[in-house]
Amino acid sequence: MSRPVDANGIPYDMWAVVFRNRGDAVVDLVPAPRSPEHSWALARIRVHASMVCASDRKILDGKFPATAFPHIPGHEFAGEVVDVGDGVFDIEPGMRVAPEAHVGCGECERCLEGLYNLCMNYGKPGHWHIGFTKAGGLAEYVTLPVKALHKLPDNISFAQGAWTDNLGVALWALERGAMRGGERVAVIGSGAIGLCAAQLARGLGAASVTLVGRGERLSRVARFADDVISDVQARQRKGQFDLVVEFAGTADGAALSIALARRGGRVVLGGATGAGVELSGVDLSQIVRGHLDIFGSVANPKGVTARALELLRRGLVDVEPLITHHFQLRDFQEAWTTFTERREGAIRVMLHPVEGS
């Protein structure tokens, strides 16, 4: 049955993944976002490719207090612009785009520094955290601030473009750690962002990249690093790395990162974005006497996404092998189970709201 459409041919209703409440996720017919024609700052996007992430599981479990139910999740996606606000000139209908997840208020101290990932007005008017505090891309359509959008290079598909957020997060962690060519880099955590970080480090000229992880996926990702080892094996490599980047999100992963850094080395902790992961059992003299620099890294600020997309365009990172499963949006429940239970070595699960995309 055909659905009624607006003047631009967009249905008034759309199919979307809806987190109705804690632990309750469905695919439902909901009102589609209206045309942004009277807005100077918004664009409406037809979503072609969207991924589920461990953060979505935290949201569904009620571990992200800023998210109000019911909620449409999804912050890793790409699509096509269908219409824009009257005052928008740099984004046009037909453009293929992908968003970065954070849009700051633009007025606080951190935003004025370009650090809108640290916006002091988080969740308040003017701030967007797409897929967290605002409706996301696990839907047929989504309306987004124009300043969140990046035009996809011509040689990048929608499926590749959906990695924009992951690549930005991974690249920022390497930049936080001031990675330089010729260095020995270790990446802790073999999830999607860790795999992006390992590839980016290689592409940026690391002398060697060691990936530390666990599970059956390790054999599938061996080509993304010079050395792929378990956390048990890594304990035999203490003090050997110039830069250690952690995306495991565990206290053990953080402690291992500190142990692996050489004297005078750097450690970037980027995995434990949620509350409740407490670090204990670390001898602080490792940091003090080892003269270590320890950095926290969350999301990515202004400018990083564009640099990440350029590296993707140049072929310095390959995300296609990391997309292990594809589903239509209507099959979300199967996709969700595949991802959360890591069936068949799932790394990232891609959903396609547009049939055949």
CATH number of the domain to which 172 belongs: 3.40.50.720
- 199 and 67 in one domain? no
Contact predicate 14/141, CB 8 Å: yes
pLDDT at 1: 60
Residue 126 CB burial class (10 angstroms; 0-12, 13-18, ≥19): middle
- CATH code for the domain in which residue 35 is found: 3.90.180.10
Q: Which positions of the chain have pLDDT values less than 50?
A: none
Looking only at the bridges linking them, the beta strands covering 141-145 and 42-51 are antiparallel
Task: Check whether residue 328 and residue 207 sit in a common domain.
Answer: no
Domain of 203 in residue numbering reads as 167-296
What letter would DSSP give residue 96? E
Q: Are both 184 and 134 inside the same structural domain?
A: no
- Contacts for 274-280 with beta carbons within 8 Å, 24 or more apart? 274/58, 274/63, 274/64, 274/249, 275/63, 277/249, 277/250, 277/251, 278/251, 279/251, 279/254, 279/255, 280/251
Residue 279: its pLDDT value, please? 82
Tokens 């459409």 locate to: 5
Peptide bond just before 353 cis, omega within 30 deg: no
Looking at the fold, whether 35 and 97 belong to one and the same domain comes out as yes
Q: What is the dihedral of CA 104, 106, 109, 113, to 10 degrees?
A: 80
pLDDT of 356: 57
* Burial classification of residue 317, based on how many CB atoms lie within 10 Å of its CB (0-12 exposed, 13-18 middle, 19 or more buried): buried
Query: Are both 32 and 77 inside the same structural domain?
Result: yes
Is this prediction's pTM over 0.85? yes
Q: CA-CA distances (angstroms) from residue 292 to 188, 255, 261, 264, 297? A: 17, 13, 8, 5, 16
Place of tokens 């390790």: 218
Q: Do the beta carbons of residue 145 and residue 55 sit within 8 Å?
A: no
Q: Across-strand partners of 132? A: none
pLDDT score at 46: 98
Quick one: DSSP state of residue 354? S
CA-nearest of 94, 102, 91, 96 to 40 is: 91
Output the pLDDT for position 73.
Answer: 98
pLDDT for position 152:
98
Q: Are residues 207 and 270 in the same domain?
A: yes
Residue 237 confidence (pLDDT): 96
